[in-house]
Amino acid sequence: MIPGMVAIALVATMLSAYAGSQSAETPAPAGAEETATQQANREAFGKAKPGPWAYSGASGYTNYLGGGIGYSPEQPVKFPHPVHVNSLKMNCAFCHNAANQSPDPGLPAVATCMGCHTIVGAGRPEIVKLTEYWNNKQPVPWVRIHKVPEYVHFPHMRHVNAGVTCQTCHGQVNNMPQVFMAQSLNMGWCVQCHVNGYDPAEGVRAAGYEPDSATLALPKKKATYDCATCHY
């Protein structure tokens, strides 16, 4: 088969991860400004004691980018996940559309933002910033928060398609006016699931919902854990 100009990308299963679109009943603060409660919440994350699994020395507290749990750099455009996910019920995969088909989750192109924001909220300060980037034909230089080291290969689609909720690793981004790191993403943290299995009900709870009876009945998902699963 010669794919030619057609990508090898294959038809993937629908994103099964929980996303904010199911959270009609969960009220979430809208707007880009962080409330005092949220700030306290974020700082509490930063001080969180590492779990018993974080045995690999200092890396339990700081991540590869030097940030660690609670790392929350200011972004060039204050993109409010809560508004988009909770209020507007957009699925994570609407913007991060490669997460279920590629190792790389994908970041929305500026054009995707402008698809709505040419009209929606055109006069607001953050939208003005966004529009400036668009007009200057410049991409938005988002500050990276989550990164695993060079020698780790994390295929997003294997996790997403196995039903791991986005929030399991990224925290409740749908409730973060400014995204911060919720988990250490160090190896000790990873192998919790790879060795002990991933409990779908826990994943649902991590996303902020109560699992239904069907989810509670699901067995733990297991994964291989030899070094070459991720390190090559």
- Residues at the site binding another protein, with contacts judged by CB under 8 A: 2-13, 62, 64-66, 73, 98, 101-112, 134, 137-144, 147-155, 157-158, 161, 222-228, 231-232
Shortest spacing between CB 30 and another protein, in angstroms: 24
Shortest spacing between CB 59 and another protein, in angstroms: 10
Q: What's the DSSP call for residue 21?
A: G
The residue among 28 and 113 lying less far from another protein, judged by its C-beta, is: 113
The residue among 7 and 214 lying less far from another protein, judged by its C-beta, is: 7
At a CB cut-off of 8 Å and minimum separation 6, what does 62 contact? 68
What does the alpha-carbon distance between residue 80 and residue 23 come to, in Å, rounded to a whole number?
A: 17
SS3 label, residue 170: helix
Shortest spacing between CB 53 and another protein, in angstroms: 18
What distance lies between CA 52 and its chain's CA centroid?
Answer: 24
The residue among 8 and 36 lying less far from another protein, judged by its C-beta, is: 8
Shortest spacing between CB 151 and another protein, in angstroms: 5
At a CB cut-off of 8 Å and minimum separation 6, what does 207 contact? 18, 165, 166, 167, 168, 172
What does the alpha-carbon distance between residue 221 and residue 219 come to, in Å, rounded to a whole number?
A: 6
The residue among 39 and 138 lying less far from another protein, judged by its C-beta, is: 138
What does the alpha-carbon distance between residue 46 and residue 43 come to, in Å, rounded to a whole number?
A: 5
The residue among 28 and 182 lying less far from another protein, judged by its C-beta, is: 182
SS3 label, residue 86: helix
Shortest spacing between CB 76 and another protein, in angstroms: 9
